[in-house]
Structure 1
Amino acid sequence: MNPLQRIHSAFSEAGATGWLHAVDIDSGAEISAGADQPVVTASVHKLPLLLALHRQAEQGLVDLTEQVHCEPAHRAGGPTGLSAMLDPVRISLRDAAYLMTALSDNAAAALILERVGLDAVNATTASLGLTRTRAVRSFAGTLATLREDAGPTGIQALSDPHVIARLRALDPARTNHSTPRDMTTLLRAVWRDEATAPEHCAAVRRLLGLQVWPHRMASGFPFDDVHVAGKTGTLPTLRNEVGVVEYPDGGRYAIAVFTRAANPAATLPAVDAVIGTAARIAVDGLRTR
């Protein structure tokens, strides 16, 4: 089978529908499996927010060392970082950016979004030509729509296919959205120092390289000398990751993988792993060329 056939087969065997775009950052060679399909970004949209923060820092509109205060009662929900802490926290914007990127901390993202604003996030993606990428609401706002749409039975209802079908958070037309191609275009601009000033692109790359989750894209590249930097996104039935894989010979590849599972279970290791499998097939195909 050719790489595209293998990618589609891998998604099918994992019980998911998947969309992928992979591009050689230097040559522009690409592999597409639904690269222009509108997709829900979920926490992948923290990457455009991170870039918007650094663009504002470059313009002198934001001091990354600025301290912000975060009270427990006003934090966005989530299982990591500030979201899981019990006491008041005072933290710099750049350290909040670390928590937002490496741990996908929703409360840290809320602090940064409050300082930067949705308009700046959308202006950033528009300036890069990402015409199919848009932030519609905050991450806390997305979680709020999940609670509203699930109804009075709460999280238990998210196993019901009829409830899943009505969730605004899973509809690209009604929530934060992009395409796999738009996301690799953004990553390519960051890795080529074209998205903002070189020192700020380097800072974005550093934070993506500190992501702690090894179970998706990184699982496809279990080598000590291959570096994977990325950002995940997760919502009911959705598992995503966008990132860059760098080889010791200088090869570097931007990859975006978005999936939707047929099974609404919260734990689906096969779907997590297929993100790494599909990414590896795509990168191997590009390197063979």
Structure 2
Amino acid sequence: MTDTPGRLRTAFADAGVTGWLHAVDIDTGAQVDAGADRTVPTASVHKLCVLVTLHELAARGELELTERIACPPDGRTPGPTGLAAMLDPVELSLRDAAFLMMSVSDNTAADLLLDRVGLDAVNRTSARLGLTGTRAVQRFGAMLDGMREDAGPAGARALADPHVIARLRALDPATAGHSTPRDMTRLLGAIWRDEACPPEYGAAMRRILGLQVWPHRLAAGFPFDDVHVAGKTGTLPTLRHEVGVVEYPDGGRYAVAVFTRTAHTAATLPRADAVIGTAARIAVDALRAGR
């Protein structure tokens, strides 16, 4: 693994991003560290913590995953996917809301679940699992409201201005929900080893994580029919993240967390997306070579 840090630095630099990574062999504990303890705003990656909290409460009998919740059109958290983009009244189960939250990063579904479990419960779950650098601070709707306030009267157009980007509280780990790459791989390892919740609930979470639809980040580094990638993305202006687990047919299981930030304010930066998969592949290849 001697050249792995250099290869990671080169990959991030070539893509025009600053990147932080942690990768760990779930079964042996071997790891690759490239800024693994850097505190970073999590964006939608924090939905993974909501997912675990939901299943922990279900395992303790404090709620039923089949419990129904109503979602009227008014007051939905904005977003381009899932319930957030729908126009008519919806009723669904907690577990189906969790599916939407993770598979298409549905902000409305995430806030429905946060309203049900509570921010304090999410932070208690993180503390129980030893995620000392991880904290949820607000609903996703509140985060978006804060971004609109910080952007000012020009609205979304202002997000092309680096000076506006610099004042967004959602991008400041001191004021936003945050974590570290190491905390996220610790959480993923706990899910895959059934330490976060009993096996029935661990299997449910792994299934949902495996249904994420986005192929352009972590999964892009593993274009093989027999390699399974399960993960959760996070995106805000200048931030592109993904955390997930890569499973090989020989039984190898690798938790990977890649967090990136770019100076470019463009919403579409294919190389910045793709480097998440590139960096993950570099790290996983190093772990596999050391087995």
What's the TM-score bracket when you normalise by the shorter of the two chains?
over 0.9
Distance in 2 between the 1:103 and 1:166 partners? 28
Q: Which amino acid counterpart does residue 287 of structure 2 have in structure 1?
A: L
Structure 1 residue 5: Cα displacement: 0.6
CA offsets, 1:25-69, max 9 Å, x none? 000000000000001100000000000000000111111111110
Structure 1 residue 74: Cα displacement: 1.3
Q: Which amino acid counterpart does residue 8 of structure 2 have in structure 1?
A: I
Q: Which amino acid counterpart does residue 216 of structure 2 have in structure 1?
A: H
Quote the residue 1:32 is aligned against: 33
Q: Which runs of 4+ in 1 moved over 4 A?
A: none
Query: Which residues of 2 match residues 168-207 of structure 1 at below 5 A?
Result: 168-207=169-208
Structure 1 residue 154: Cα displacement: 0.4
Q: Which amino acid counterpart does residue 116 of structure 1 have in structure 2?
A: V
Structure 1 residue 228 and structure 2 residue 229: aligned?
Answer: yes
Quote the residue 1:165 is aligned against: 166
Structure 1 residue 98: Cα displacement: 0.3
SS of the aligned residue for 2:174 comes to helix
Quote the residue 1:134 is aligned against: 135
Structure 1 residue 251: Cα displacement: 0.3
Quote the residue 1:152 is aligned against: 153
Q: Which amino acid counterpart does residue 225 of structure 1 have in structure 2?
A: D
Q: Which amino acid counterpart does residue 75 of structure 1 have in structure 2?
A: R
Q: Which amino acid counterpart does residue 4 of structure 1 have in structure 2?
A: P
Q: Which amino acid counterpart does residue 198 of structure 1 have in structure 2?
A: P
Structure 1 residue 4: Cα displacement: 1.1
SS of the aligned residue for 2:92 comes to strand
CA offsets, 1:241-276, max 9 Å, x none? 000000000000000000001110000000000000
SS of the aligned residue for 1:137 comes to coil
Quote the residue 2:124 is aligned against: 123
Quote the residue 1:22 is aligned against: 23
Query: Unaligned 5+ residue runs, structure 1?
Result: none
CA offsets, 1:135-167, max 9 Å, x none? 011111111110000001000000111100000
TM-score by length of 1: 0.99
Distance in 1 between the 2:80 and 2:241 partners? 18
SS of the aligned residue for 2:272 comes to helix
Distance in 2 between the 1:173 and 1:132 partners? 11
Q: Which amino acid counterpart does residue 119 of structure 2 have in structure 1?
A: L
Distance in 1 between the 2:155 and 2:133 partners? 32
Q: Which amino acid counterpart does residue 187 of structure 1 have in structure 2?
A: L
Q: Which amino acid counterpart does residue 200 of structure 1 have in structure 2?
A: Y
Q: Which amino acid counterpart does residue 211 of structure 1 have in structure 2?
A: Q
Query: Unaligned 5+ residue runs, structure 2?
Result: none
Structure 1 residue 94 and structure 2 residue 95: aligned?
Answer: yes
CA offsets, 1:174-206, max 9 Å, x none? 000000000000000000010111111111110
Distance in 1 between the 2:9 and 2:252 partners? 24
CA offsets, 1:190-249, max 9 Å, x none? 000101111111111100000000000000000000000000000000000000000000
SS of the aligned residue for 2:195 comes to coil
Structure 1 residue 111: Cα displacement: 0.7
Quote the residue 2:78 is aligned against: 77
Distance in 2 between the 1:92 and 1:196 partners? 20
Structure 1 residue 72: Cα displacement: 1.0
Distance in 2 between the 1:113 and 1:246 partners? 30
Quote the residue 1:66 is aligned against: 67
Give RMSD over aligned pairs.
0.6
Structure 1 residue 3: Cα displacement: 1.2
Distance in 1 between the 2:200 and 2:64 partners? 14
SS of the aligned residue for 1:241 comes to strand
Distance in 1 between the 2:265 and 2:153 partners? 19
Q: Which amino acid counterpart does residue 82 of structure 2 have in structure 1?
A: G
Distance in 2 between the 1:161 and 1:102 partners? 31
Q: Which amino acid counterpart does residue 265 of structure 1 have in structure 2?
A: A
Quote the residue 2:261 is aligned against: 260
Distance in 1 between the 2:251 and 2:65 partners? 31
